[in-house]
Amino acid sequence: MSAARDATTTRDEILSRVRSALSGRTGLPHPGPLDTQGEGGVGALSSRLERNGARVERLEPGAAPGEWLSHLLERLVHEREPSIAVGHGVPARLIPPLPSAPPEEASVGISVAWGAAAETGTLVLPATEGRRVQLLVPLHVVWLEKEHIHARLGDALDSTRQRGLGAAVGLHSGPSKSADIGRTLVTGVHGPGQLVVAVL
Amino acid sequence: MKVALFVTCLADHYFAEAAADAVRLLRHLGCEVSFPNTQTCCGQPAHNAGMAEEALKMAEHTSGVLKDAEHVVVPSGSCAAMITKAYPALGLGNGPSSRTWELGAFVRRHLDIASLGRGLEGRSVAYHQGCHALRELGLETESIELLEGAGAHVVDWPSATECCGFGGLFSTKMPPVSTAMADAKLDSLPQVDWVVSGDPGCLLQLSSRARRTGNDLRFRHLASVLWEAADGRA
Amino acid sequence: MDVRSRDYADLARTIIEDTPGVRKAVSGATAAFDAARRRAYAEIDAEAWRRWAEGVKNHVLTHLDQYLEEAEARLQENGAKVHWAGNAQEARHIVAELAQARGVRSVVKGKSMLTEEIELNPALEERGIHVYETDLGEYILQLLDEAPSHILGPAIHRSLEDVQALFADRLGTAADALPDDLAAAARTELRARFQEADMGVSGGNFLVAETGTLALIENEGNIRLTTSLPRIHVALVGIEKLLPTFGDLAGFLQLTARAGTGQAIGCFVSLIQGPATAPGDDGPEEVHIVLVDNGRTDVLADEHAWETLRCVRCGACLNTCPVYKQTGGHAYGWVYSGPIGAVLDPGLLGLEQTAPLPFASSLCGACFDACPVRIPIPDLLLHWRRAAQARGLTPLSERAGLKAFTAMATRPALYRYLGRVGPRLAGSSLFRRLPVLSGWTEHREPPEPSPRRFRDLWSEGIGE
């Protein structure tokens, strides 16, 4: 039975079929990098993220980030006492003084982005801070340093690669959404239904 | 300017008056028009059906018929595309391809005429873009400019650039799909005096379906409408 | 799934005549996707992006053996296990054996056309393993026991009312529940499935050879969950899905989204290198990449059809196709439908099983203008039509008719003679019974011949 064949044999057969398919064919050159000519800066990032359905907030000058976020969450979360799940890499000063809960139960997840791309409104999230915090909560807050905003997605990915791709990287560019039911847009289908980007 | 008319099999048999109007228009614009009498079909039906040998035979015949023509004008975007785009692919690169024009493009681009007259003043027109004129020949604005230049109001038709469902053999091989496509176009049609197209095949498809569904829309070939535009010149 | 592509004409007729709701739902959804795609293309230098993407894919396909070996080496370095499957049976076997050997009892799945192609779900279910589709559209279809009808929106042929009735029956939602409530019910149901699953199965949009990165694009977040929560992740990837360098990803992620949904990028993109290494990263302990051929090397060997392997499965050609819009995907009788299906399926399955598909097109060319990797679909439709005619896979009457027409059209005197009577006879009741003409007159009036042919008017002299 073919399915039971030796794995190496299958591999070599496929590669040999590829080679025989390509024999006599000219190898075509790689066209080089694509210049996507994206626009940079907080403004460009914000407007793209907002188009994607996310919310962008800038830390008020002089405010303590944790307290500030706590106040922001009071407005965004309609629960008496919102609970938070925090990613492994989030420094203490960015954590609001709210009760913590496991990501399965928390009302808010808090992460720090490694970087962002303005042209697509994309946040780069490493797996090392814990993926559940990024995925299981209804509201996901991502802290982002202004200096980490790239104009182009390609540059954001390059800098991520230099830092180390690790097991996985998540690119989040908006809230979870679907139009699979009657072409009506619904948010929060599986992942967070709200994405808030807090710019430092 | 010497022009040979390649009338196409559909226009010869189903839009004879429109083809005659094309001749009137071209003469009016100072062209000396000839009609090579041995012309038949450009070969597109066989080409699109995948009958390569048959397509080549008809293409060779047509290339021979048109070999001495300075310019070839075709009152059909689809057949013009066959001659200009498919003939070279069939190995007939030295044939009439580079000298062949769809009627509206010939008048607007080659003769560089922006306004034929004001004979269409007050007329509202929906212009159906034939797929091959639009996507193979890249003709998007030429005929519309001529219609508007003569005073016609070319209405915004959301599906103006969508296929009518003719597709030659396709229309009889897949009748329910082909008809549903015609309906999609007709259903989105605004109120107009005429539906105009430079393609006889599309006009046959749309008008035959409209008549079956009791729709009394008036369908006209571009050639007749352009002649009317010029003839009505003050 | 069974291949029913030979029945295209009948399947299409049945859908159009018996289920008008499908045509309405598909037309509406595709028109919205297509309009979004046009807007998104207008924001960029679409022509330059498309040529670039075509170039990258051509490069990778003409060096495919090298890039497959490079991807394999990188993935192994990253701690992932690479498997090779020559055909659907081998692919099913690899995944099923893997699941069984590791005591897997339940599997969550992200949307993957390749798993439909190889019919993975029944193979797992046969072994007593529960399989849960987690993409909302796929979940709806799993409950309905239906196949996807669109690459991106698998359930676009189903209306809100259809889903309301289905969920009321299966999930106990109200009969008039709004989409938000319906989605919430599905989320609750599937969240539990995510938590208990031992294995997540996904497809793959791209596999980067340089870094061994598997890229997955989505909007719901279910693929991120599928590839993160269960202890084992298995990705099925067609061998044509490779990209040469990590730097190529940014362009392809954007172009695929713009072509498919008109977004700048999918809401979630997973870039997966291998199993979790850092403590607390919530990733799988094992990552398996199954590289699947299943006919792709045959397509690669075809000097014309190999260009279909550039396809990134964005669905743009479906959305813009006036033929697809009338029926949705089920008429095409197999996994890949629409214009790309009409040129890909003959390559993957053989023309004998799929001969009507290349003819399911008016050759309008809209698909080529939409395709982000510039697959010359109209040319390839003709390529397969020629092959079908040459191999006698079309009706004899059609071939005989075209041969007779050619014989006539290359004999001007005969053509002129027959042209005098032909069009008039075509309108008569006798001739309406011929297949080619009854196909016309079933839904349309016979065309009205001009009273006099043009050539008659010409010979009489055309006056102003």
Q: What is the CATH number of the domain that holds B66?
A: 3.40.50
Average pLDDT of the residues in A179-186: 91
pLDDT confidence bin for A1, thresholds 50/70/90? very low
Asked if the model's pLDDT at residue A90 lies above 60, the reply is yes
Per-residue pLDDT tens over the stretch A46-78? 999 999 999 999 999 999 999 999 999 999 998
The predicted model gives C162-179 an average pLDDT of 96
pLDDT band of C251, cuts 50, 70, 90: very high
Residues B6 and B57 in one domain: yes
B233 pLDDT above the threshold of 70: no
- Provide the pLDDT for residue C88: 97
pLDDT for the residue B228: 96
Q: Residue B50: inside a domain, yes or no? A: yes
Summary mean pLDDT of chain B: 95
User: Total structural domains in chain B?
Assistant: 2
pLDDT digits over C323-343, tens only? 999 999 999 999 999 999 999
Q: Based on the domain organization, do B8 and B101 belong to the same domain?
A: yes
Residue A7 pLDDT: 76
What value of ipTM does the predicted structure carry?
0.96
* pLDDT of res. C196: 96
With respect to residue B139, please indicate whether it lies within any of the assigned structural domains. yes
pLDDT confidence tier of residue C252, bands split at 50, 70 and 90: very high
Contact B175 C406 (CB under 8 A): no
What's the pLDDT score for residue C437? 75
Q: Which domain holds residue A171?
A: 39-199
- Whether residue A26 lies within 8 A of chain C, CB to CB, comes out as yes
Per the listing, tokens 């607007």 go with B108
Most confident of C101-110, C148-157, C432-441: C101-110
- Whether A3 shows a pLDDT value over 60: the answer reads no
DSSP state of A17: H
Is C456 in CB contact (< 8 Å) with chain B? yes
Provide the pLDDT for residue C278: 84
CATH code at A99?
Answer: 3.40.50.10420
Within 8 A of A51 by CB-CB distance, chain C residues are 264
Q: Residues of A157-166 as b/e, b for ≥16 C-beta within 10 angstroms?
A: bbebbeeebb
Q: Is the pLDDT of residue C259 over 50?
A: yes
Of the given ranges (B25-34, C42-51, C445-454), which has the lowest mean pLDDT? C445-454
Instruction: Please report the pLDDT score of residue C40 as a whole number.
Output: 98
Q: What 3 state SS string does C181-204 have?
A: HHHHHHHHHHHHHHHHCCEEEECC
Cα–Cα dist B61/B59, whole Å: 5
- Residues 70 to 129 of B: which have CB under 8 A from any C CB? none
Looking at the complex, does the CB of residue C180 fall below 8 Å from at least one CB of chain B?
A: no
pLDDT tens track for C369-398: 999 999 999 999 999 999 999 999 999 999
- Whether the per-residue pLDDT at B127 is higher than 70: the answer is yes
**Average of per-residue pLDDT across A119-140:** 96
Rounded-to-integer distance, Cα C342 and Cα A39, Å: 39
Domain boundary among B110, B134, B160: B110
Q: Which of residues 403-432 of C touch B (CB under 8 A)?
A: 403, 405-406, 408-410, 412, 415, 419, 422-423
Which positions in chain A touch C140 (Cβ < 8 Å)? 180-181
What is the token pair recorded at C56?
């990258």
Compute the CA torsion angle C246, C250, C252, C257 (nearest 10 deg): 140
Residues B79, B144: one domain?
no
The answer to the question of residue A18 being in a domain is no
Do residue B173 and residue C458 have CB atoms under 8 angstroms apart? no
Residue C90, pLDDT above cutoff 90: yes
Q: What is the pLDDT of residues A96-115, one digit of tens each?
A: 999 999 999 999 999 999 99
Dist. CA B9–CA C405, nearest whole Å: 11
Residue from C221, B205, C299 nearest A125 by CA: C221
Q: What is the mean pLDDT of residues A140-149?
A: 97
Domain-embedded: residue B164 = yes
pLDDT, residue A2, reads 47
Tell whether B76 and B31 lie within a shared domain: yes
**Is C422 a residue whose pLDDT tops 80?**
no
What tens digit of pLDDT does each residue of C301-316 get?
999 999 999 999 999 9
Cα torsion C324, C327, C329, C330: sign = negative
Q: Last residue of a domain, which of B56, B83, B110?
A: B110
Residue A33 domain flag:
no
- Confidence band of C233 (pLDDT split at 50, 70, 90): very high
Q: Residue range B54-80: average pLDDT?
A: 97
% of chain B surpassing 70 pLDDT: 99
Check C456 against B136: CB less than 8 A apart. Answer: no
With CB atoms and an 8 Å threshold, state whether C454 touches B19: yes
How many structural domains compose chain A? Answer: 1
* Residue B119: inside a domain: no
What is d(CA C36, CA C34) in angstroms, rounded to the nearest whole number? 5
In a domain, B116, yes or no: no
User: Which of these three, B110, B133, B161, is where a domain ends?
Assistant: B110
pLDDT at C433 over 70: no
Name beta bridge partners: A111.
A142
**pLDDT score recorded for residue B154:** 98
* Domain limits for position B86: 2-110
* Overall average pLDDT of the C284-311 stretch: 98
Q: How confident is the model at residue A40 (pLDDT cuts 50, 70, 90)?
A: confident
- The share of chain B scoring above pLDDT 90, in percent, equals 96
> Distance, in angstroms, between C358 CA and closest chain A CA?
23
- What single letter denotes the amino acid at residue C122? P
Considering only CB atoms, C267 lies closest to which of A25, A168, A176, namely A176
Euclidean distance between CA atoms B94 and C357, whole angstroms: 34
Contacts of residue C324, defined as CB under 8 A and 6 or more positions apart, other chains included, come to C26, C30, C317, C318, C337, C338, C339
Q: Which fold has domain C5-166+195-296?
A: Rossmann fold (3.40.50)
Q: Is the same domain home to B102 and B128?
A: no
B152 and B93 in a single domain? The answer is no
Question: CA C389: distance to chain centroid?
Answer: 24
User: Sorting pLDDT into bands at 50, 70 and 90, what band is C464?
Assistant: low
Q: Which residue of A has its CA nearest to C287?
A: A167
pLDDT of A43 higher than 90: yes
